[in-house]
């Protein structure tokens, strides 16, 4: 009788033990992250700080301890015992019954739970708190949008967690109906990714009110659209301003003026990139129509405004146009604009894509992306395809946002040049495809190497700046040969020389203004902005 009782007690004990589950509970945030990182001795020993500094290891949010208040509250939950904690994962190891552990999901500071018994995780997502994500690679199922981002290797930037975070894009276009309601932008709205908007044409702060065109909605979708496992834009985590300047049914020069006004607003708001899938040449009143010779990047009102936006530090991305051999529209002709032509899904020239010409002061188009059968999200939230460089441009603009996120110390001109140099026909550009199809992964690698020449910058000296008649360039004797190229603000080459030793260069023939000096050495390439007075 006693042995049977002992057996039953042991059996109950065993059942109770196996009823207990182990799991990791991931938390939402930590306390005093910024202050702790700014004062690392409060969270690390001096030896740990010294080791990280010696090896170039940054101190980040993962070094900040788990919030002890959350741990205390978890310990007080019914049936829960806490056995370990991890600041790296911002997580704690708990033990309890499956139901008691699952009940923790109702707590505001619990973001996810993963059971040690993987069979219990079938219905649960992997942890997605921001600290754990820093150690993970971003992986999207692009669905219909796969080809257009993979063509330019933008997906590889996403895999490295460069998805546009921290970059602001102004979309200047014709109309944005349903952006505030449709499911394809739900993720954007949930992330507070729409910073504001304005309808310059109707002078209406409600940028969604005018429904005469959904062109802006379609354009935005190629950058910011997201439908899980079906569609992902090229910059899903960038922030956006939406500006309507185009009245789709009519063509009048007022739209050029409104574009410039919107660009000025973008500059005042600190926008990094403007995407403009607009272009102007032929007007309803033929007396207003621009001649081919006017498309020289310097003549039209809008192109002059775009060049100023570039000078202000904004990277202006504009569609080449859909006029084929009839040529570019303004402001795609401007040297300060990164002009995007179109190709088909195989990377072949799309015959509608506007071609550059000798009228432009720089190579146009700059590069090309998919513009024929581009995947977009229509205003009724249906995924479809559309043709036009109107979509080549934002596909590229979104990818640029990801690249600039990865290379925040570079300026707009440097980013543009990196992309040109990464393109498929950089050494043999033409008026159909410009420098060709860019490779954003290659551009990123090249951009990272620019950081390696910081030491070189300390060794090469260019003076005076501002300069007048003479420019002096000195460099170490170890640099066997140095090539310099001087460009004006429009990107036109003004001077090129090979230097064998430190030199004085006569530049008295140059006009006053801003110049960019490119210095190429055996150890790297650097650029300097110079001013002649």
pLDDT above 60 for 434: yes
Domain that holds residue 73: 14-30+65-133
Q: What is the overall mean pLDDT for the chain?
A: 88
240-268: per-residue pLDDT in tens? 999 999 998 889 989 999 999 999 999 99
Q: Which residue has the higher pLDDT, 454 or 247?
A: 247
- Write down the pLDDT at residue 381: 97
Tell me what percent of the chain is helix, strand and coil, each rounded to the nearest 5.
Answer: 35, 25, 45
Tell which of 400, 418, 451 closes a domain: 451
Q: Are residues 459 and 444 in the same domain?
A: no
Asked whether residue 293 is assigned to any structural domain, the reply reads: yes
pLDDT in tens, 34-68: 888 888 899 988 876 876 676 566 788 888 899 99
Cα dihedral angle (75, 78, 81, 84), rounded to 10 degrees?
A: -50
Note the pLDDT tens digit of each residue in 346-372.
Answer: 999 999 999 999 999 999 999 999 999
Cα separation values, 251 from 195, 201, 291, Å: 29, 12, 16
Letter string b/e over residues 373-398, b meaning 16 or more CB atoms within 10 A of that residue's CB: ebbbbbbebebeebbbbbbbbbbbbb
- Residues 74, 24, single domain; the answer is yes
Residue 367: φ, ψ to 5°: -145, 180
DSSP state letter for 26 = E
Number of domains in the chain: 3
Q: Which of 451, 484, 517 is the last residue of a domain?
A: 451
The reply to whether 252 and 401 lie within a common domain is yes
Q: How many helices (H) and strands (E) does the chain have?
A: 16, 22
| Tokens 């910011």 found at | 224
SS3 234: coil
In the beta sheet, which residues pair with residue 40?
none
Answer yes or no: do 336 and 461 share one domain.
no
Same domain, 460 and 361: no
Is residue 394 helix, strand or coil? helix
Q: What is the CA radius of gyration of the chain?
A: 28
Could you say which of 81, 98, 133 is where a domain stops? 133
The whole-number pLDDT of residue 4 equals 55
Cα separation of 299 and 361, whole Å? 12
The reply to whether 326 and 343 lie within a common domain is: yes
- Rounded mean pLDDT, 175-189: 97
Kindly report whether the peptide bond that precedes residue 137 is cis, defined as omega within 30 degrees of 0. no
Question: Residue 304: which CATH number?
Answer: 3.40.50.200
- Whether residue 73 sits in one domain with residue 203: no
For residues 414 and 521, state if they share a domain: no
């Amino acid at each position: 009788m006693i042995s049977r009782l002992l057996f039953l007690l042991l059996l109950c004990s065993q059942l109770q033990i196996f009823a207990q589950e182990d799991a990791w509970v991931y938390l939402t945030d930590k306390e005093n992250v910024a202050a702790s990182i700014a004062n690392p001795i409060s969270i690390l020993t001096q030896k740990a700080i010294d080791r990280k500094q010696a090896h170039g290891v940054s101190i980040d949010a993962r070094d900040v301890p788990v919030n002890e208040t959350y741990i205390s509250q978890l310990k007080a939950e019914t049936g829960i015992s806490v056995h370990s904690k991890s600041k790296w994962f911002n997580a704690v190891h708990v033990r309890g019954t499956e139901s008691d552990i699952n009940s923790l999901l109702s707590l505001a500071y619990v973001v996810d739970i993963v059971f040690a018994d993987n069979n219990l995780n079938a219905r649960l997502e992997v942890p997605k708190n921001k600290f754990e994500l820093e150690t993970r690679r971003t992986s999207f199922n692009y669905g219909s949008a796969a080809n257009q981002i993979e063509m330019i290797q933008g997906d590889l930037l996403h895999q490295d967690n460069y998805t546009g975070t921290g970059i602001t894009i102004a979309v200047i276009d014709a109309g944005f109906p349903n952006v505030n309601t449709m499911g394809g932008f739900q993720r954007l709205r949930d992330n507070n990714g729409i910073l504001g908007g304005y309808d310059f044409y109707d002078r209406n702060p409600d940028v969604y009110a005018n429904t005469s065109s959904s062109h802006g909605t379609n354009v935005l979708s190629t950058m910011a659209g997201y439908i899980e496992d079906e569609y992902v834009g090229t910059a899903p985590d960038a922030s956006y301003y939406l500006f309507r300047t185009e009245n789709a049914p009519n063509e009048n020069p007022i739209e050029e003026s409104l574009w410039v006004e919107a660009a000025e607003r973008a500059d005042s708001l600190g926008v990094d990139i403007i995407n403009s899938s607009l272009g102007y040449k032929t007007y309803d009143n033929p007396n207003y129509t621009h001649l081919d010779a006017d498309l020289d990047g310097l003549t039209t009102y809008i192109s002059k405004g775009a060049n100023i936006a570039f000078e202000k530090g904004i990277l202006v991305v504009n569609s080449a146009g859909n006029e084929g051999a009839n040529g570019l529209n303004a402001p795609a002709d401007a040297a300060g604009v990164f002009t995007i032509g179109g190709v088909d899904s195989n990377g072949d020239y799309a015959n509608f894509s506007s071609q550059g010409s000798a009228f432009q002061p720089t190579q146009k188009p700059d590069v090309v992306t998919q513009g024929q059968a581009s995947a977009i999200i229509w205003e009724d939230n249906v995924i479809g395809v559309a043709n036009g460089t109107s979509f080549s441009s934002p596909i590229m603009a979104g990818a640029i946002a990801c690249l600039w996120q990865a290379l925040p110390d570079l300026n707009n001109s440097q980013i543009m040049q990196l992309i040109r140099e990464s393109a498929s026909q950089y050494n043999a550009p033409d008026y159909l495809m410009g420098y060709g199809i860019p490779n954003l992964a290659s551009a990123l690698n090249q951009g990272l190497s620019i950081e390696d020449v910081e030491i070189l910058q300390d060794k090469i000296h260019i003076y005076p700046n501002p300069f007048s008649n003479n420019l002096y360039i000195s460099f170490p004797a170890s640099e066997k040969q140095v090539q310099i190229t001087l460009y004006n603000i429009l990107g036109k080459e003004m001077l090129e020389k090979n230097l064998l030793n430190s030199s004085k260069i006569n530049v008295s023939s140059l006009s006053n203004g801003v110049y960019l000096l490119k210095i190429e050495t055996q150890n790297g390439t650097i650029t300097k902005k110079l001013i002649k007075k």
